[in-house]
Structure 1
Amino acid sequence: MSGDRVRYEKKDHVAYVTLDRPDVLNAMDRRTHEELAGIWDDTEADDDVRVVVLTGAGTRAFSVGQDLKERARLNEAGAQATTFGSRGQPGHPRLTDRFTLSKPVVARVHGYALGGGFELVLACDIVIASDDAVFALPEVRLGLIPGAGGVFRLPRQLPQKVAMGYLLTGRRMDAATALKYGLVNEVVPPEELDRCVAEWTDSLVRAAPLSVRAIKEAALRSLDLPLEEAFTAAYTWEERRRRSEDAIEGPRAFAAKRDPVWTGEYRPS
């Protein structure tokens, strides 16, 4: 399913999604978003895929976000200005507002992650960064807004005053600062980035796939719920896990002192 803008490969239960425009620091144009939409659909539908790794081609950038040259051309042609979310835009829903994606997404970040690139990172579940990574939401300096979720996610993932400082000034954040505030899970030298990502994906693949999906759904959907309501809310993937063969296999394998064999199969209600 690889296209002109995005490379897509699957191996050993891991889907690798690579923004492939290194000559423009993996800036995302409309065609990029169209290709990504099909890829996100496929990762969700393919039960053999248990985890997704998102990264950028080349050595200079994860992604610098929106292709501003294309945006300028669209503006000149009279295209309507965009606002929050991707509704009505190519590739809708994009990862940044694809709230029901049940597979965990790991961001492999090197170099620049700016604007929409940083917003992609904020939408991922686990983030591994090289120590040369640079994060920023510079939209305020361009007469724009971080409309792909940055204005909403950053204050949820950072202390409010810290988030507002970055949002309102467009200042850059280095990898060490991102690690300090918990925006990334690990920071490693560039030559160790692939090894570190592989360690995380190996751990995710070993985990029960339905448990992973149930936990992701419950954790994210309950963030804004009172604790008592979180316990009683209905979670689709938890219902599937609870009725699954894997829910039986895990304890059985533990009792037999062997590794579990996950099927990801569940009994329809």
Structure 2
Amino acid sequence: MSAILFEKRGQQAWITLNRPQHKNIMNGEMFVQLADAWQEVRDDSAIRVAVVTAAGDRDFCCGGDLGELIPLWTGARQPQNELEQRLLDDPMIPDKIMLKGEPLYKPIIAAINGRALGGGTELLQATDIRIAADHAQFGLPEPRAGVVPGAGSMVRLARQLPYAHAMKILLGGEPVSAAEALAMGLVSEVVPLEQLQARAEHYAENVCRQAPLALQAIKRTAIETHTQSWADAYSFEMEQAGAVMMSKDAREGPRAFKEKRAPEFRGE
């Protein structure tokens, strides 16, 4: 059984973490397949939005499978298949799965079907719109094991949330509920589990109706200017706006409005 399910639904890419019997914990196979999935989303111009979710109704992802990964990385055991060998050969794969090394400017929606602990909470910080089932939980328990959440959380979380909320998750060690995560701003919306799929589809379809170059410029600007000075940030924003205004899509939008029809954006 593949650790990652990758499905193209028209202009949408659906990525499903697929180890429900193991709490969707990330092993070597999942690392490599998730890195490949993100690369396909990045490279395929037909894909306008990605949705990441998980199999089952209890766990989104409860971290990394340290029992498999640490012996592999330390040489205590040999790779058992081609994917584990790729993980050893490419030390950047852990960064790639968290979109640390090379940002992905296409919109990413997370449909969080259960507990997101450790690496699960870290992965969510690489996404844009986050819909959680009402029984979901979030947490970074790494310090309890004597390690740190080093897949992006020590940098990202305090930039994405108010400082005190971020530090409660980073230092507290205890999971927070979906309702608490919503109040903090960690997630965008909380719904009953049976509505999760439909809400993710709603957001994905809405993204696909909009101009892809415009959305990517918006996300790129939000990410790249986060720590810049106001002057540098506004300059970058104008560069992005100018590039979009020169696109065919920028002409198609007003034309469609004038002709009272839905625009046909092509990402050009």
Give TM-score scaled by structure 2 length.
Answer: 0.89
Secondary structure (helix, strand or coil) at the match of 2:96 reads coil
Note the 1:172-187 alignment, pairs <5 A. 172-187=175-190
Q: Report deviation, 1:76.
A: 6.8
Distance 1:100 1:221 in 2: 10
SS at match of 1:168: helix
Contiguous gaps of at least 5 residues in structure 1: 80-86
Verify the 8 A CA contact 1:29 1:67 in the aligned structure 2.
yes
Q: 1:130: which partner in 2?
A: 133
Structure 2 CA distance, aligned partners of 1:56 and 1:39? 14
Give the secondary-structure state (helix, strand or coil) at the position aligned to 1:123.
coil
Asked if residue 194 in structure 1 is aligned to residue 192 in structure 2, the reply is no
Q: What corresponds to 1:14 in structure 2?
A: 12
Query: Is the Cα contact below 8 Å between 1:44 and 1:101 reproduced in 2?
Result: yes
Partner of 2:38: 40
**Pairwise CA distance, 1:177:** 0.5
**2:122 is matched with which residue?**
119
Kindly report which structure 2 residues correspond to 1:227-266, keeping only aligned pairs within 5 A, or say none: 227-233=230-236, 238=241, 240-265=243-268
Shift of 1:175: 0.3
Aligned 8 A contact 1:22 1:57 in 2: yes
Deviation, structure 1 residue 173: 0.5
Q: 1:237: Cα distance to partner?
A: 6.0
Give distance in 2, aligned partners of 1:147 and 1:157.
16
Cα distance in 2 for residues equivalent to 1:168 and 1:219: 27
Aligned partners of 1:214 and 1:236 also within 8 Å: no
Asked if structure 1 preserves the Cα contact closer than 8 Å seen for 2:182 and 2:190, the reply is: yes
Aligned mates of 1:45, 1:238 — CA distance in 2? 23
- 1:39 is paired with a residue of what secondary structure? helix
- Cα distance in 2 between the residues matched to 1:41 and 1:7: 14
> How far 1:143 sits from its partner (Å)?
1.1
**Root-mean-square deviation (Å):** 2.1
1:9-60 Cα deviation digits (max 9, x unpaired): 0012110000111111111012211111111111111111110000111111
Whole-Å separation in 1 of the counterparts to 2:164 and 2:237:
34
> Do 1:132 and 1:174's aligned partners in 2 also have CA atoms closer than 8 Å?
yes
2:52 equivalent in structure 1: 54
Trace 1:96-107 onto structure 2 (pairs within 5 A).
96-107=99-110
Alignment correspondent of 2:162: 159
Q: Structure 2 unaligned segments of length 5 or more: list them.
A: 78-89
CA–CA distance in structure 1, aligned partners of residues 188 and 73 of structure 2: 38
Instruction: Check the 8 A contact 1:127/1:184 in 2, yes or no.
Output: yes
Query: SS of 1:252's equivalent?
Result: helix
Preserved contact between residue 11 and residue 47 of structure 2 (Cα < 8 Å): yes
CA contact (8 A) 1:141 1:169 kept: no
Q: Say if 2:94 and 2:151, in contact at 8 Å, map to a contact too.
A: no
Out of 149, 158, 170, which is 2:152 matched to? 149
- Structure 1, residues 147-187: CA drift from partner, whole Å, max 9, x if none? 00111122122221232222123111100001111111110
Percent sequence identity over aligned pairs: 40
Q: Distance in 2 between matches of 1:30 and 1:250?
A: 44
TM-score of the two chains, using structure 1 as the length reference: 0.88
Q: Which amino acid aligns with 2:139?
A: A
Instruction: Determine the structure 1 residue equivalent to 2:81.
Output: none
Matched residue count = 256
Q: Which residue of 1 aligns with 2:113?
A: 110
